[in-house]
């Protein structure tokens, strides 16, 4: 088990996760980070550009565990 924090950051803005969450492994952490990014994009659909945002997943010592770009979950236009 890991206790990790899921911060969101974009140009000129950082949203700090002060609570964190317990996850089983980095796969679960990645899925949680992608879900978090998806919520941001869906709630602001069409009103905000999240293409340069990412979820910074860190441990209790603020060591980077994962960096997930919002672009991974954003819809693509064909």
Residue 62 included in any domain? no
Inside any domain, residue 9: yes
66 is written with which tokens? 């994962």
Tell me, yes or no, whether 40 lies in a domain. Answer: yes
Determine the structural domain holding residue 23 and report its residue range. Answer: 2-52
In a domain? residue 34: yes
Q: Does 74 reside within a domain?
A: no
For the chain, how many structural domains are there in total? 1
CB 50 within 8 A of CB 10: yes
Q: What is the pTM of this model?
A: 0.88
In a domain, 68, yes or no: no
Q: Give the tens place of pLDDT for each residue, 5-16.
A: 999 999 999 999
Handedness of CA 14, 52, 50, 38 (dihedral sign): negative
13 located within any domain: yes
Residues 6, 21 contacting (CB under 8 angstroms): yes
* Torsion of Cα atoms, 31 then 36 then 42 then 44, to 10°: -160
- Is the pLDDT reported for residue 77 higher than 80? no
């Amino acid at each position: 088990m890991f206790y990790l924090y899921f911060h969101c950051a974009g140009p000129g803005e950082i949203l700090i996760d002060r609570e964190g969450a317990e996850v089983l492994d980095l796969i679960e952490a990645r899925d949680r980070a992608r879900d978090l990014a998806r919520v941001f994009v869906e709630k602001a659909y069409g009103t905000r550009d999240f293409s340069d945002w990412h979820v910074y997943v860190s441990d209790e010592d603020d060591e980077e565990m994962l960096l997930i770009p919002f672009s991974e979950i954003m819809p693509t236009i064909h």
